Amino acid sequence: MIRSAILLAFAATATATLAAAAPAATPLTTISERSGFQTTGRYDEVVALCARFQKAYPKQVRCFEFGRTPEDRPMLALAVTRTGALTAEQAKKKGVPVLLIQGGIHAGEIDGKDAGFLALRDALEGKAATGALDQQVLLFVPVFNVDGHERFGKNNRPNQRGPVEMGWRTTAQNYNLNRDYVKGDAPEMQAMLALVNAWDPLAYIDLHVTDGAKFQPDVSIQVEPVHGGDEALKVAGAALQTNVMADLKAKGSDPKPYYMSFAKEDDPMSGFVDALSTPRFSTGYFLLRNRFAMLVETHSWKDYPTRVRITYNTIVSLLSQVAQNGKAWQKLAHEADARALTLAGSDVPLSYRTTFNTKTIEFPGYAYTREHSDISGGLWTRYDETKPQIWTVPLRDEIVPDLRVAAPLGGYIVPLAHAAWVGAKLKQHGIAYKVIGADQMAAEVETFRATKTKFGTQSFEGHQTLAVEGDWGRERRAVRKGALFVPIAQPKARLVMTMLEPRGADGLLAWGEFNNAFERKEYMEDYVAEEVAREQLEADPQLREAFRKLLDTDPEFNQSPAKRLAFFAKRHASWDERFNLYPVMRTAQKY
């Protein structure tokens, strides 16, 4: 209780200080600062500030456009450094670590924009992270989802305290960019991936505001690689997470290393379950590139000045951490790239799971009641923020590999029919491939045939998802000139496997990009199948026995005329041998 009161008093004092210190209108102050962090500006302010920072610091800041949105707005970034490396080429030539911080991927969660400009100005003026810009390039994207930012309104985030108005979660095309890192559908994500490919940031920082219940902790800091990815990078990732959390604690915050969402929605006593996000999210994606990612989630029920302060403190900490450790971590990342070249034949995790091993934690919450609602008919949780309370709740945070797959010895072959669009996807991620220059009539390859398929029941992010079961088997197949060879021996080998393995989490197949291969297109009429069945039964005693065994042991088969006739149709010469055959192949050959 005493500690909670101290933290609340600290937050109130810091919030009042920010408001009292709000400067008059000067070229590098924000609308948010001048309002005491009650409001946030529109995107034209970002455009103006980007230019003003460059004008004020022409040798330390470069403002540039890296993409256009579907509604034709500029996507802007600021490269900030005292190393002289204001372009991607200069940063690579000088070997300077790059820290990429992006705000507004969900444009209603806009703390990162206002905190970022404030931290940027203080760093340039020597008021924060002193000397940090001498050791790195800060690549700052104030707003990722620009069109969503301009869908401005007071009610866009009903479970968030401030600012007065804010943007919208999704893009003008209704994409959730925070589900798009692998599939890269949105023009905004394609622009971001191109920016990442050009600058190769050591760390990618994804600034958010969480939804959820009312409790005292004010921010969660999740970092990868910690639970997955290269082993040496996992150690460095854990250090980055620990160091930033320590810095935040010193500033009065109560950060947690897991996403603070209840295991059962709206039930505090269900506790928390940590997880490794799949590659559709930034933290699941960048570990596949052997780089660090951090998800920062301030708590939506803290007021806007408090959240901006916490985000500001996080950015300052990151600048300091990269200044101190960036060179060493950059060396580890490059060594991880080299190790990825040798993954051929080794078991590589494609997905992870949280075990059921549970520990009990003391979590600072508030008094609450759970009572029947005559509106919803369910239970309703009501919090009393005047009564801090310690909850004793379970936490599951042991994360282990789930599905492991042996990497191919050579790589993957993408057939000519799919080469153009798959090649375009690979280019988005900077993945290397080669165009095969001659026909091979009987190449020895591995093929994957699905034994079970499950399509998503509704559209998700514009896709009908697909999950398959099955395994790889050897056979000889024709490989046409113009097909693609994607070598496994490359720095992004883990990303290659995620995208091209049929059971990969968030791979191309999982997102429904190959659904046609798993849809039956040719059929035999029932009356024809009846005749074919009788001919097969008469000619093959072993087939008769197999059929009778299924009738006796499989009730579903026994009672389904379609399944019974399909049993024979599959054994007829007219059956489509490509049905349920995944078009991408694996090979031991190195083209």
Both 492 and 537 in one domain: the answer is no
148-203 pLDDT, tens per residue? Answer: 999 999 989 999 999 999 999 999 999 999 999 999 999 999 999 999 999 999 99
Residue 16 confidence class, pLDDT cut points 50, 70, 90: very low
393 is a domain residue = no
365 is a domain residue = no
Distances in whole angstroms, Cα of residue 387 to Cα of each of 74, 151, 367, 394: 47, 37, 6, 22
348 is a domain residue = no
Phi, psi dihedral angles at 232 (to 5 degrees): -65, -35
474 is a domain residue = yes
Residue 369 confidence class, pLDDT cut points 50, 70, 90: very high
- Domain range for 267 is 2-340
Query: Mind telling me the catalytic residues?
Result: 297
Distance, in Å, from the CA atom of 590 to the CA atom of 219, rounded to the nearest integer, reads: 48
Summarize the confidence of residues 463-491 as an average pLDDT: 97
Per-residue pLDDT at 19: 45
Residue 26 confidence class, pLDDT cut points 50, 70, 90: confident
216-267 pLDDT, tens per residue? Answer: 999 999 999 999 999 999 999 999 999 999 999 999 999 999 999 999 999 9
Question: Residue 540 carries which DSSP code?
Answer: -
Summarize the confidence of residues 316-331 as an average pLDDT: 98
Question: Nearest-5° angle of CA 586, CA 588, CA 591?
Answer: 95
349 is a domain residue = no
Summarize the confidence of residues 103-112 as an average pLDDT: 98
Q: Greatest CA span in the chain, whole angstroms?
A: 94
Distances in whole angstroms, Cα of residue 97 to Cα of each of 100, 226, 288, 292: 10, 20, 19, 12
Statement: residue 18 has pLDDT above 80: no
Residue 45 confidence class, pLDDT cut points 50, 70, 90: very high
Distance, in Å, from the CA atom of 502 to the CA atom of 468, rounded to the nearest integer, reads: 7
Residue 24 confidence class, pLDDT cut points 50, 70, 90: low
Alpha carbon dihedral 160, 226, 97, 318, in 10-degree steps, equals 40
- Boundary of a domain, candidates 340, 360, 391: 340
Per-residue pLDDT at 211: 82
Phi, psi dihedral angles at 98 (to 5 degrees): -115, 130
- Give percent above pLDDT 70 in the chain: 96
Q: Which amino acid is at 435?
A: V
293-315 pLDDT, tens per residue? Answer: 999 999 999 999 999 999 999 99
Per-residue pLDDT at 21: 46
Both 281 and 141 in one domain: the answer is yes
Q: Which amino acid is at 533?
A: A
Both 424 and 291 in one domain: the answer is no
Per-residue pLDDT at 8: 43
- Boundary of a domain, candidates 307, 340, 373: 340
Closest residue by Cα to residue 111 from 302, 319, 322, 320: 302
Statement: residue 54 has pLDDT above 70: yes
- Give percent above pLDDT 90 in the chain: 91
Q: Domain holding 97: CATH number?
A: 3.40.630.10
Residue 10 confidence class, pLDDT cut points 50, 70, 90: very low
| Mean pLDDT taken over the chain | 94
Q: Which long-range contacts (CB under 8 A, 24 or more apart) does 164-168 make?
A: 164/38, 164/39, 165/39, 165/40, 166/40, 166/107, 166/108, 166/109, 166/110, 167/104, 167/107, 167/108, 167/110, 167/143, 168/107, 168/108
Both 58 and 179 in one domain: the answer is yes
299 is a domain residue = yes
- Boundary of a domain, candidates 340, 367, 388: 340
Per-residue pLDDT at 3: 40
Residue 25 confidence class, pLDDT cut points 50, 70, 90: low
21 is a domain residue = yes
Both 114 and 246 in one domain: the answer is yes
Statement: residue 321 has pLDDT above 90: yes
pTM above 0.85, yes or no: yes
Per-residue pLDDT at 2: 39
493-531 pLDDT, tens per residue? Answer: 999 999 999 998 899 999 999 999 999 988 889 999 899
Count of domains observed in the chain? 3
Both 492 and 553 in one domain: the answer is no
Both 135 and 226 in one domain: the answer is yes
Both 465 and 547 in one domain: the answer is no
Summarize the confidence of residues 60-87 as an average pLDDT: 98
Q: Which amino acid is at 479?
A: V
